[in-house]
Amino acid sequence: MAYMRKVKNRYYGYYKGEGGKEKCVSLKTSSLTLAKQRLKNVEELEYQIKIGITEDPLAKRTSFARNTLSDMVSLFLKSQENLIQRSTLQRYKDALNELIRIFGKDKPIDSFVKSDNAILMKGLLHAERVNPKSGKIETRFTPTTVNILLRGIRRFFNWAVEEEYIDKLPFRIKLLKIDKSHPKFMTDDEVKQLMKAAEDKPLMRDVFLIHLNTGMRVSELKNSELLPDGEHLRITNTKGRQDRIIPIDPELVDTYLKVKENVPHKCTVSHQFKVFAQKAGLSNDITFHSLRHTFAVRHWIEHRDINLTKQVLGHSSVVVTEIYTKIPIDYLKNVISIRNNHH
């Protein structure tokens, strides 16, 4: 009678094939529940072989389970829930929704072939949408967004290989080449203009001020706390999933505590930044994240220690931090003051 066994965290089914010889097949899962369900297919197969109404599938090199794209996407997202940030999980969902849109929810995960890569790229690059304001049809995704989607899709296929749902990657996913530009930091004059534009909204102005002087990401303020020394903050649940400790000017502690008690939603913060940036007459490429870039540039000018700047920013690699070293230091010193942070 068919049975299953767990080997190196994977389940395998065993059955008597043609001639009574025991055969082994991967159930392609580490889940006991899913393995039990698939074992029923193995038991049914063994019975059909015994009474002679079917042939051994191993001889025909077929699979017990034709996992659909939709099922595999659901399983993948479920497996990632406690491993990554919610924002990253949402990006994966967006990416895999596009994969399903292009290929259909019922496409078997093991049916992807090399030529599907061209179909994927065409589906992403030629996607269109109707502009809600102008009513005109426009390209749906920018090259940067396409790369974000491709990273999510690539992670999904890598997971499918790791979990043995497919034997190998069906194709190599290459990101689009995008001209690298300097990070969009703010000059002292631009910071002054922003703060002046937001002077009628003191809470939002203080939110901007705290991020400008700590380099926190928009989602990190709510996950921060003041340490007993009154000069450092601990940030938990970060993008890299590692706590980090950053300095804060003691003169800003009261402002930080006030903002922390009334921290707005990150979407509200980003939207309000755009409103005040436009009011201040700033360039459209200046975003809320520019506050973090500005902090990073100031920190780099002051300390000239790339590893220290990496640590404060919480970057996963110094390679990411090195973008700030590509900007001419003489230019930075002309437009940014190191100790001119309390606007």
Q: Which residue, chain included where needed, has tokens 């400790």?
A: 245
More confident residue, 105 or 339: 105
Residues 218 and 270: beta-carbon distance below 8 Å: yes
Residues 320 and 175: beta-carbon distance below 8 Å: no
Residue 297's identity, in one-letter code, is V
- Residue of 120, 31, 40 whose CA lies nearest to 72: 31
Residue 338 pLDDT:
64
Structure tokens at 264: 């707005």
Read off the pLDDT of each residue in 37-46 and give the average, rounded to a whole number.
88
How far is the C-alpha of 188 from the C-alpha of 49, rounded, in Å? Answer: 78
Mean pLDDT of the chain: 88
Residue 200 pLDDT:
93
Structure tokens at 97: 């929704």
Q: Which of 30-39, 147-156, 328-337 has the highest mean pLDDT?
A: 147-156
Residues 302 and 338: beta-carbon distance below 8 Å: yes
How far is the C-alpha of 18 from the C-alpha of 50, rounded, in Å? Answer: 8
Read off the pLDDT of each residue in 51-79 and give the average, rounded to a whole number.
76
pLDDT in tens, 133-153: 888 899 999 888 999 999 999
How far is the C-alpha of 107 from the C-alpha of 248, rounded, in Å? Answer: 52
Structure tokens at 258: 């006030």
More confident residue, 336 or 103: 103
Q: Which residues are CB-neighbours of 288 under 8 A, at least 6 positions away?
A: 211, 218, 269, 270, 273, 274
Q: Is the pLDDT of residue 118 over 70?
A: yes
Q: Is the pLDDT of residue 5 over 80?
A: yes
Helix (H, G, I), strand (E, B) or coil at 162: helix
The DSSP call for residue 68 is B
pLDDT in tens, 173-195: 999 987 677 788 999 999 999 99
